[in-house]
Copies of this chain bind each other. A is one copy, B any other.
Amino acid sequence: MKTLTILSPVAEDLQRVEQRLHQITQVEFPLPAAILADLFQSGGKRLRPALVLLAGHFGTYDRSRLIPLAAAVETLHTATLVHDDLIDNSLLRRGNPTMNTRWHGGVVVLVGDYLFAKAAELAAESESTEVAFLFAQTLGVICRGELRQAFSIGNGQPTISEYLERIFSKTASLFASSSKSGAVLTGATPSHCQALHDYGLHFGMAFQIVDDILDFTGTEGELGKPVGSDLRQGTITLPTIHYLLAYPGDNPVSHYLANSTDGKGRDDALQAAVQCITGSRAIELSYNSAREFISRAKEAALALPDTGYRHTLVELADYVIERRV
């Protein structure tokens, strides 16, 4: 794993987190062990564990409890990705085939469940019932969000506020819990815990919006999956919503979403839809939203003591907007 340069103040402990993640892959059966190793090696940036560790520096830093907690957060995240890919029937993630392209659904379910169990064990190692409760609640928020999405498919185009609610459940809630729990665990003051919660929340919102933008503006090489994958799966994200608000009539995007072509024509229709969106103001408007969330994240950080770690949080916030991958 390559650590982002910005994260060098916590790089050493991130390596320790990596060792804990590696331990999870050491199961007695070679096949699941290989699957687990693949999952953890497939190039996540470890932003959630980094937030746990950074937040821990605003209380009494306690490595022995923060490292399992940081590993718990990444494990929980990985578990949700595994099940997500099954739910969405995705074929690629981070440039690698997803588990469900190679394994029977039952195996995918089991591997995800095993990771949930491991996440719960690691979280319990932090010896804080408040933290355990926080993570259980976050998993609940994530699942309720997914249930809402699963049962609303075909109910028409989501509004911006429905989109924001969805990415709060899917992404921002875990970022918020990550930074808050690092603070709670180390006995930071209630106002610093709140500031770190708010930082993580807004950071996570921006992170997901940029992810959704890059799905249109990135290259297949950068994304590790084909451009326009969300649209292909029928997932309507912020750029698409902005586009459809600006062009409510018949257009290549609504055409594509109405499923009126298939086969080879369908791929061309997707490309036309993607070009429409990237060529419109939808991308700029989406970036504006992301920047607004990043401003709020930085504002929350300003309530924290002026240390190098606060500086890192601010730099990390800027990185979210600038990143290409």
Is the beta-carbon distance between A117 and B132 smaller than 8 angstroms?
no
Tell me if A175 is interfacial: C-beta within 8 Å of chain B. Answer: no
Q: In the complex, A156 Cα to B216 Cα: how many Å?
A: 50
When C-beta atoms are compared, the residue in chain B nearest to A79 turns out to be B113
Q: Which of B87, B106, B133, B150 contacts A86 (CB 8 A)?
A: B106
Q: In the complex, A257 Cα to B188 Cα: how many Å?
A: 61
Contact string against B for A residues 91-134, beta-carbon threshold 8 Å, 1 for contact and 0 otherwise: 00000000000000111011111101110110111011100110
Is the beta-carbon distance between A147 and B116 smaller than 8 angstroms?
no
Is the beta-carbon distance between B151 and A31 smaller than 8 angstroms?
yes
Is the beta-carbon distance between A87 and B106 smaller than 8 angstroms?
yes
Please report the total number of A residues contacting B with Cβ < 8 Å: 46
If the complex has contacts A136-B123, A148-B29, are A86 and B109 also in contact, measured as CB distance less than 8 A?
yes
Tell me if A32 is interfacial: C-beta within 8 Å of chain B. Answer: yes
Is the beta-carbon distance between B116 and A116 smaller than 8 angstroms?
yes
Tell me if A285 is interfacial: C-beta within 8 Å of chain B. Answer: no
Q: In the complex, A106 Cα to B108 Cα: how many Å?
A: 11
Is the beta-carbon distance between B117 and A139 smaller than 8 angstroms?
yes
Is the beta-carbon distance between A136 and B117 smaller than 8 angstroms?
yes
Tell me if A135 is interfacial: C-beta within 8 Å of chain B. Answer: yes
Q: In the complex, A32 Cα to B107 Cα: how many Å?
A: 24
Q: In the complex, A128 Cα to B118 Cα: how many Å?
A: 18
Residues of B within 8 A of A132 (CB): 120, 123-124, 129, 132
Contact string against B for A residues 231-267, beta-carbon threshold 8 Å, 1 for contact and 0 otherwise: 0000000000000000000000000000000000000
Q: Which of B83, B118, B129 contacts A113 (CB 8 A)?
A: B83
Residues of B within 8 A of A142 (CB): 117
If the complex has contacts A29-B151, A150-B106, are A117 and B140 also in contact, measured as CB distance less than 8 A?
yes
Residues of B within 8 A of A32 (CB): 147, 151
Tell me if A144 is interfacial: C-beta within 8 Å of chain B. Answer: yes
When C-beta atoms are compared, the residue in chain B nearest to A134 turns out to be B124
Q: In the complex, A112 Cα to B136 Cα: how many Å?
A: 14
22 contacts between A and B (CB under 8 A): A27-B147, A28-B148, A83-B110, A83-B113, A87-B110, A89-B106, A105-B105, A106-B150, A107-B150, A110-B146, A113-B143, A114-B143, A116-B139, A117-B140, A118-B136, A120-B132, A120-B135, A123-B136, A124-B132, A127-B129, A129-B129, A129-B132
